[in-house]
A and B are shown apart, each in its own frame.
Chain A
Amino acid sequence: MDTVFLMNSLWVMISAVLVILMIGGFILLETGSTRMKNAGHIAGKTILTFGISSIVFWAVGYGLIFGEGNSILGFSDFFYSGYDIEGLGLSGAVFFLFQLAFAGISLTIAFGGFAERAKLSVYLVFALLFSVLVYPFIAHWIWGGGWLAEHGKQDFAGSTVVHLTGAMAALAATILLKPRIGKYNKDGSANNIEGHNQVFTALSVLLLWVGWFGFNAGSTVSVDGAFFGFVALNTNLAAAAGTVAAMLISWIVVGKADVPMMLNGALAGLVAITASCAFVDTWAAVVIGLIAGILVFYSIRFFESRKIDDPIFALSVHGTAGVWGTLSTGFFATPELATVGKPGLFYGGGFEQLGVQALGVVASGAFAFIVSYIILSIMKVAMKGLRVTEEEEIIGLDISEHGSYGYPELVNKEAAAKGSIEVTGTANVPLSSQHPSVN
């Protein structure tokens, strides 16, 4: 057998494994950024919805994206059986698995907007509908030879296809679900509902960061010229720049070296470089990451001020940074690297590529948002609400949706302690904040 064929297959297989491991990153990210009482539920539903997404992708998703069809959708190759695909240069099954992983990531991102209040049944139904009615359209348009591909839209690994699509579904969900109990005060000011484990969140970022080498560098789908190394380098640089930029902007504007913000900066850098990693120079990757880190900071503040409760910042990290990443190739794509589309504005390409990128963002974003909004609105009526009851939300989704806590000892202890506070009226005020008092 052809060595290059084997090596391509091996490299993309490794990448598929890395991308599927990103699901683990999202488990840690979402649980770490939310409260203990929902941790078991969040971890479990993430695995479950990846299961649903995988089966749907096998049955129809792949065919809708890559099948023979028109510029809107594909209509063949359903229920894929593992055959090799002509002209790919690698194993068909490996390519299929790699693409399946991407669909799973997009859905997982979408569910970030549901966190801590949606019913389990809503996750199951939406997992199915998103995987059929939302993701395949956009993936076909850009990657499956659809109408945006014909325009030369540049989205190497999916800033738009995967991240923006997921984020737009998350936006629709978070608008329809409304904010979590306790997020906003009567006067409209927002409370900070802190995540229960910053170590999880930090580890999640590292897992995602490494997983992204599969996501971006694997999207070369070949070992030709070892180009994947360059793509991985750009990816790492943007993540690094995003981390530093978010930390700095937080320190400059609010006076705090905020850890969750820094972590969001890393992810924003990764999301932004996803579209452009194969089309830009290394210095541009640093700039793209830096800008993403700053954008994510302001984006989080913007959504919060608009009373949009986004528990794990999916809208800003995947949405805002996804938009920026997609547009960034319109500025920075170099003539040598722009194998798809045209060079960017800074390389004499004029506004043409930037326009194509903007068109892609608007069309894909609007489609994902509107269709998700319609699906969820219908589900809201048909399923008598998307959200658990107030009581269920307060006791936590671990117990209300699954009957057991992710942290049984700790959550029970916490509940007991809360009870005693109400009885004695003495909260556990940290000593450092008590005295010497200067009222």
Chain B
Amino acid sequence: MNFNDYSNINAIRARGLSDVTFSNDQLNHFHDLIYEQVISAAVSKLSKEFGNPPSPFCFFVMGSAGRMEQSIWSDQDHGLVFKTNSNESQEYFLKLGKEIAEGLDLAGYKKCSGSVMASNPLWCKSLKDWENQLGLWVGVSSWESIRYLLIFADARTIYGDHSLLNILKEKAFDEVKREQLLLRMLHNTMFLKKGVGVLGQLLVETHGAFTGSINLKETAFFPFVNAARLLSFYEGIKETPTLSRISLLSDVVMPHQDKSLYSRNFSALLDYRLKHGSHRDYDSGHYVNINKLAKDEKKALKEILKVGEQFYEHVRKLLERK
């Protein structure tokens, strides 16, 4: 595989995108498809140059890709776990991670600014090292290590041996439960940007390129996503999409009508972003200019924001009571 092949995938992505932009599900399956093509291309390139992979492995995505909640533009968040704990494997898979990160970049997915990528040794480890690392993260329980655990919670296999990631997830859930880290996790995600003011008005950016737009990512997505993620630790739910996490909750934790209220509104939010986001690039996809919204569209958005806050509060109270 060479430069041109990844660019070809980018061209395919650009052509195919317009057919899937009306549905979050279809859009995310499409992103998965592009990822798979890039990863296979990278694997076959490495195989040609350095031989076949020395061990079974699992390549997983995190962040919005992990949750199947990517918008039209998306950046990279991924990691890799391999079974055989050896220097040879470490070297090989780090190379593979780098190749995939480069390939995805050429295919139109910006590299992660925080370097949460399989090209970074922190996110590319053998099963044993990963288990140690998760134990360490829980043990240290610093602000940063808790953040890593929260990122890891959204991991979803996209290529390779799914069982490897499953082992890690169970380990993570067990450790977090044992050390009772849920409250710390709650506090780590507690800062929320308000979307609706006390007078019931939408709170928009007052400065910068997005003046007059509301930041959907921080005001609307964060409460839902963070609340559902916390519950996934609480209940040991390995699924990553926010909607799946909500639907898999036991009725004891959350009554059925609440679950359906939160799901309905998050689902509406996903559609809303696709329909109203600017989508010129990665950043603009999170912003909606409220002056371009009809009255009922504004009302719908306020309802989503209100329910998101309610959901987060619900989870906060649940965890703080324990």
Contact = CB atoms under 8 A, between A and B. Distances in A.
Contacts of A185: 208-209
B147 interface: yes
A191 B151 CA distance: 31
Contact of B207 (A191, A431, A435): A191
Contact of B113 (A253, A429, A438): A429
A187 interface: yes
Contacts of B221: 438
Interface residues of B, number: 43
Contact of A255 (B194, B210, B222): B194
Interface string B94-135: 000000000000000000011010000000000000000000
A426 B209 contact: no
B225 A438 contact: yes
A438 B209 CA distance: 20
A1 interface: no
Contacts of A435: 63, 77, 114, 116, 147, 150-151
A438 B197 CA distance: 23
A437 B199 contact: no
Interface string B192-229: 00100111010100111111100001000110011001
A192 B208 CA distance: 7
Contacts of A254: 197, 203, 206
B113 A427 contact: yes
Interface in B264-322: 282, 285-286
A439 B285 contact: yes
Contact of B144 (A251, A253, A427, A431): A431
B24 interface: no
A189 interface: yes
Interface residues of A, number: 23
A431 B143 CA distance: 10
A438 B208 contact: no
B74 interface: yes
A439 B209 contact: no
Given A435-B147, A439-B64, A190 B211 contact: yes
B70 interface: yes
A304 to B, nearest CB: 9
B209 A429 contact: no
Nearest to B113: A429
Interface string A400-437: 00000000000000000000000000110101101111
A190 B64 contact: no
Interface in B146-186: 147, 150-151, 153-154
Contacts of B208: 185, 189-192
Contacts of A432: 191
For chain A, what secondary structure do more than half of its interface residues adopt (helix, strand, loop), or is it mixed? loop
Nearest to A258: B206
Given A437-B64, A438-B64, A189 B209 contact: yes
B199 A252 contact: yes
Nearest to B211: A189
A437 B197 contact: no
Contacts of B75: 437, 439
Given A429-B114, A432-B191, A434-B113, A439 B74 contact: yes
B286 A434 contact: no
Contacts of B225: 436, 438
B263 interface: no
B177 to A, nearest CB: 20
Interface in A271-309: 301
Nearest to A435: B151
Contacts of A434: 113-114, 116
B71 interface: yes
**Most B C-beta atoms less than 10 A away, residue of A190, A426, A437:** A437
Nearest to A251: B198
Nearest to B154: A436
A438 B217 contact: yes
Given A185-B209, A427-B113, A436 B194 contact: no
23 contacts: A185-B209, A189-B208, A189-B209, A189-B210, A191-B208, A192-B207, A254-B197, A254-B206, A255-B197, A427-B113, A431-B114, A435-B116, A435-B147, A436-B150, A436-B154, A438-B63, A438-B67, A438-B221, A438-B222, A439-B63, A439-B71, A439-B73, A439-B217
Given A254-B197, A436-B62, A438-B63, 12 more contacts: A251-B198, A255-B203, A427-B113, A434-B114, A435-B150, A436-B151, A436-B153, A439-B70, A439-B71, A439-B73, A439-B74, A439-B286
Q: Nearest 10 A-B pairs (CB), nearest first?
A: A189-B211, A192-B207, A434-B114, A255-B203, A437-B63, A438-B221, A255-B194, A439-B64, A429-B113, A255-B197
